Amino acid sequence: MTDVKSTDIQVSTFENAMRQFDRAAGLLKINPGLLNIIKRPRRSIILELPMMMDDGTYRLFKGYRVQHSIVRGPGKGGIRYHPDVNLDEVQALAAWMTFKCAVVGIPFGGAKGGIVCDPRKMSKGELERLTRRYTAELMDVIGPDQDVPAPDVNTDSQIMAWVMDTYSMHQRRTETAVVTGKPVAMGGSLGRREATGRGVQFCVRAMARHLGQSLPGLRIAVQGFGNVGSVAAELLARDGCKIVAVCDVYGAIANKSGLDIPALLKHTATTGSVKDFPGSESIDTKSILTTDCDVLIPAALENQITEENAALIRARVVAEGANGPTTPEADVILAEKGIYVIPDILCNAGGVTVSYFEWVQDRMGYFWEEEEVNQRLELIMNRSFGEVLALSTAHDTTLRVAAFMLAIQRVAEVIQLRGLYA
């Protein structure tokens, strides 16, 4: 994902997540005490990570790992490196992971981690030392059967390789299943890098079918041109969609006739930004959300669509490639405008689904061809979209509320079957 800065840093992301939870829970006949157990994080860990920098100075970095739930299986969730990482954000992201895994029916709970740092200002050696220190501090709480990290904002397969190696060295054996999103050469899965963006593609396809729209000519705007946004744009362009506007942290560009996405990908690989792309006009970064389009894909950070700008959204569909891009207040406004929101816990679940595939392949020591990975992902995404849509129709509610209802029911069922150990 691209690190577009949140429009309102005062918003409590965890509180927003819990408000989404409460709205859905109010439609379910579940004991309030049980609901409270489901809501609260199981464990929140705050770390102080000392490190020597390349210039010989010492620095202390703050790190986090939150395990929201391990009821349905090991915790699952990424590690992000960003200057704005904080406990509130990590707790919210861990909670969303719990419900995301439940929506798509994979046997994981929810977790998330992060380090307060700016990786763009750090050398590769500094990033490696910081990653290894963070991993070493979490040796007792992560593992294939406990908590399985993955890449997130500003982390990648190389970071995951260092996590896996550090964990393996402490365990005195190679343990590939401790993380997902690794390089394919060391136990990663084919199709994992594209999985989140591909999941967005499958959801946009499913919504188009539901609305009776054809993909060719569908106008799409993408906020955030990192891994998720760029892959979604590339795949949807192959479907015949017109990508009319995109942005990253450095700028925003538009072309009403559609941007040449293959050429744009080459441009960003060379320059590091979408800025100054030939055949496009520069637009204000904030205006990307209010672009005249059929589908808006927010694929940046949390709290991007708020009560301040929701009324200006002109898309018919918002497909949430990012985690928590829409605040509860904005949700109400979008619903009143008749805009369909494909919620994050469904729309961007392709990444964790293929992470599950990677974990399975690592544990059995047998790896699938990319075509099989993509087919399995499409099956799960289409099934999950259909289940959420059916629940939304039955209860005359939004897709987000329906997705949370489905997830809460699945978590509550397992808690009741397992019972509470005392």
Catalytic residue among 39, 76, 112, 182: 112
Give the integer Cα–Cα distance in Å for 345 and 105.
12
In this predicted structure, what is the pLDDT of residue 52?
97
Q: Which CATH superfamily is domain 29-186 in?
A: Leucine Dehydrogenase, chain A, domain 1 (3.40.50.10860)
CA distance 405 to 22: 10
In the prediction, which pLDDT does 2 show? 39
For the segment 327-334, the average pLDDT, to the nearest whole number, is 96
Q: How confident is the model at residue 192 (pLDDT cuts 50, 70, 90)?
A: very high
Same fold, 29-186 and 195-347: yes
> pLDDT for 400-414, tens place per residue?
999 999 999 999 999
Query: What are the residue boundaries of the structural domains of the chain, listed by start?
Result: 29-186, 195-347
Q: In this predicted structure, what is the pLDDT of residue 11?
A: 67
Q: Would you state the pLDDT for residue 404?
A: 97
Please tell me the predicted confidence (pLDDT) of residue 301.
83
**Contact residues for 361 (Cβ-Cβ < 8 A; gap 6+):** 187, 189, 367, 368
Label residues 73-93 b or e (16+ Cβ within 10 Å = b).
bbbbbbbbbbebbebbbbbbb
pLDDT at res. 422: 74
Examine the pLDDT at 8 and tell me if it is beyond 70.
Answer: no
Give the mean model confidence (pLDDT) for residues 64-84: 97
Strand partners for 115: 63, 81
Higher pLDDT, 302 or 20: 20
In this prediction, residue 9 carries a pLDDT of 45
Given a contact cutoff of 8 angstroms between Cβ atoms, the answer to whether 23 and 401 are in contact is yes
What average pLDDT does the structure give for the chain? 95
The predicted model gives 260-275 an average pLDDT of 96
Query: What CATH class is the domain 195-347?
Result: alpha beta
> Please, which pLDDT band fits residue 193 given cuts at 50, 70 and 90?
very high
**Nearest of 195, 356, 187, 197 to residue 261 by alpha carbon:** 197
**Is it the case that residue 4 has pLDDT exceeding 50?**
no
**pLDDT (0 to 100) of residue 272:** 92
Tell me the average pLDDT across 91-99: 96
Helices 124-137 & 157-171, crossing angle to 10 degrees? 50
Give mean pLDDT, residues 158-174.
98
Distance CA 19, CA 16 (A): 5
CA distance linking residue 403 with residue 340, whole number of Å = 13
**Confidence at residue 10, expressed as pLDDT on a 0 to 100 scale:** 60
Q: Look up 112 and say whether it is catalytic.
A: yes
Tell whether the model's pLDDT for residue 7 goes beyond 60.
no
Beta strand pairing status for 58-69 and 43-52? Answer: antiparallel
At 133 the three-state DSSP class reads helix
Buried b (16+ CB within 10 A) or exposed e, 99-122: bbbbbbbbebbbbbbbbbbebeeb
Q: Is 151 helix (H, G, I), strand (E, B) or coil?
A: strand
